[in-house]
Amino acid sequence: MGAMSALPGLDDLATYRADKGRLGRALEALPGDFPRPEGAFPAPYGVVGLGEGWWAAELLRPRFPDTLAPGTTFVLAGGYGLGRLAGLLAAARETSRRVVVLGFGPEAEVPVPSSPLTPYRYLRYVLEATGEAELGAEVDRALSRERERLAPHQKSPENPAKLLAWGLLERIPLWVTGPRHPFLAQALQQVFARIAKSLSIAPPPAALEFFITALEARHEQGDPLVGVVAGDDEEVRLAREVLATRVDFLEELAPPEAQGPVPEALAYWYRLAWAAYYLALLYRQDPGDHQVLARLREAAE
């Protein structure tokens, strides 16, 4: 009890001094904060993502199944080079009438500075550039609704992200998502690691087999696992039943006010980004990036 009472208070302004890079301000400003495309781009469209751009590309895959398209290929170049980008750009320029490179580094024509929040920015640019502005607007509406409940001014008892951060303190989250939101578990794992500086587990595609075998009786060995459940399809319901006896407890995320799988996925991700932010503050860590990432980017260009 003494250790818990010594933790920072998430409703105390002094706690936010640890946020030296002002990631909290970036989180609050995120809905609508993305580069706007100039002009029209020829269809059909393809999209490929590297590094920070991988999840945005996967979210767009149902609409644009090709990575390289004869019209316009959007290259979400949010990675560290390492030889992949040059070959990809050469192939895209042979295939496509127009190649648009977003990201950081010398090849990017649309600058997207590195950040844990860039998946949103990559996604919104491509939606606007491909005539999917209404879907993008629904993403922004979903995130804006979440922001009203998640930002620091909302006190702990009414703030789901602050409450979730307390529930994840000194525990390892296990992300439970269903086929309606493919790759959401991996996106949550990534943003949680990047902001909270903490380990979590994203199950493989055959999640039920993983839960039944890998986690068998692990709770008896003291693993501080908490299942974080997003969604309510049949696969998620089965996973919830299995995990009830295999983790310390289940944290079920209330469904966001969003229309469609893409806005829902972004809303879940945004909520976890806020929870990760608050968890970093509870650990007295700067939620922003470590300088080692900046040095890695410089070395890899």
What is the full per-residue pLDDT of the chain (301 aa) written as tens digits? 344 558 899 999 999 999 999 999 999 999 999 999 998 899 999 999 999 999 999 999 999 999 999 999 999 999 876 578 989 999 999 999 999 999 998 899 999 999 999 999 999 999 999 999 999 999 999 999 999 999 999 999 999 999 999 999 999 999 999 999 999 999 999 999 999 999 999 999 888 888 888 877 555 555 689 999 999 889 899 999 999 888 888 999 999 999 999 999 999 999 999 999 999 999 999 999 877 666 666 665 5
- Asked if residue 116 has a cis previous peptide bond (ω within 30° of 0), the answer is no
CB 192 within 8 A of CB 173: yes
pLDDT at 2: 41
Instruction: Give the closest residue to 249 by CA, choosing from 228, 263, 268.
Output: 228
* Token pair of 189 as six digits: 């794992």
CB 262 within 8 A of CB 139: yes
pLDDT at 59: 98
CB 118 within 8 A of CB 191: no
Domain layout of the chain by residue ranges: 2-19+149-282, 45-131
* Token pair of 243 as six digits: 């995990």
Please provide residue 92's backbone torsions phi and psi, each rounded to the nearest 5 degrees. -65, -40
pLDDT at 84: 83
Instruction: Give the closest residue to 191 by CA, choosing from 271, 136, 102.
Output: 271
Those residues whose C-beta lies under 8 Å from the C-beta of residue 74, and which sit 6 or more positions away, are: 45, 46, 47, 48, 100, 102, 125, 126, 129
pLDDT at 290: 73
DSSP 41: -
**What is the Cα–Cα distance from 154 to 201, expressed in whole angstroms?**
29
The fold for domain 2-19+149-282 equals Rossmann fold (3.40.50)
Residue in the structure block whose two tokens are 């644009």: 64
Those residues whose C-beta lies under 8 Å from the C-beta of residue 125, and which sit 6 or more positions away, are: 34, 35, 36, 37, 74, 102, 110, 112
User: The whole model's pTM is what?
Assistant: 0.94
Instruction: Give the closest residue to 169 by CA, choosing from 249, 271, 255.
Output: 249
Q: How many CA atoms does the CB half-sphere of 230 hold within 13 Å?
A: 28
Mutual angle of helices 133-150 and 261-282, in 10-degree steps: 30
Chain mean position to CA 7: 26
Q: Check: CATH 3.30.43.10 for 45-131?
A: no
Fold match, 2-19+149-282 / 45-131: yes
**What is the Cα–Cα distance from 235 to 142, expressed in whole angstroms?**
24
**What is the Cα–Cα distance from 233 to 179, expressed in whole angstroms?**
8
